A = this chain, B = another copy of it.
Amino acid sequence: MAADQLSVTFAALADPTRRAILARVAQGEATVMELAEPFRLKLPTVSKHLKVLRRAGLITQGRQAQWRPCRLEPAPLKDVADWVERYREIWEERMGQLSDYLRQLQDKEETDGSEE
């Protein structure tokens, strides 16, 4: 995998389990067990997902007794948002055209189609 930060972040997000973990952690801190519970995954597997998220800077893990509570670190998500924002103009323009096209189709149908 490429070493640059954005690539690492995208790679970390390219897994539904990890995105679900982020969604859970966004609600508040959670232990590894709590994170593992919704998925039918063994602890080591979840632990490795967390490692990927940690390397991407998307979470940090503290220490409270034998627990390692996970906390969301949203900075890389802002980077993603900033990156994708550059394309907003393009998709809004194209989606607009698509809407126009669909509207045309509909108009056409209403014109030469049977009303009722």
Give 1 or 0 for each of A76-116: 1 = CB within 8 Å of chain B CB.
01101101111110110011000000000000000000000
Partner of A7, one of B6, B14, B22, B80: B14
Dominant secondary structure of chain A at its interface with chain B: helix
Q: Which residue of B lies closest to A90 (CB)?
A: B74
The reply on A10 being an interface residue by CB < 8 A is yes
What residues of chain B lie closer than 8 Å to A84, measured between beta carbons?
77, 80-81, 84
Distance to closest chain B CB from A31 (angstroms): 20
Residue positions of A touching B, CB distance < 8 A? 1-2, 4, 6-8, 10-11, 13-17, 19, 22, 26, 72, 74-75, 77-78, 80-81, 83-88, 90-91, 94-95
**Interface pairs (15), CB distance under 8 Å:** A1-B14, A2-B14, A2-B17, A6-B16, A7-B19, A10-B10, A11-B11, A11-B14, A19-B83, A22-B87, A26-B87, A77-B87, A77-B91, A81-B81, A81-B87
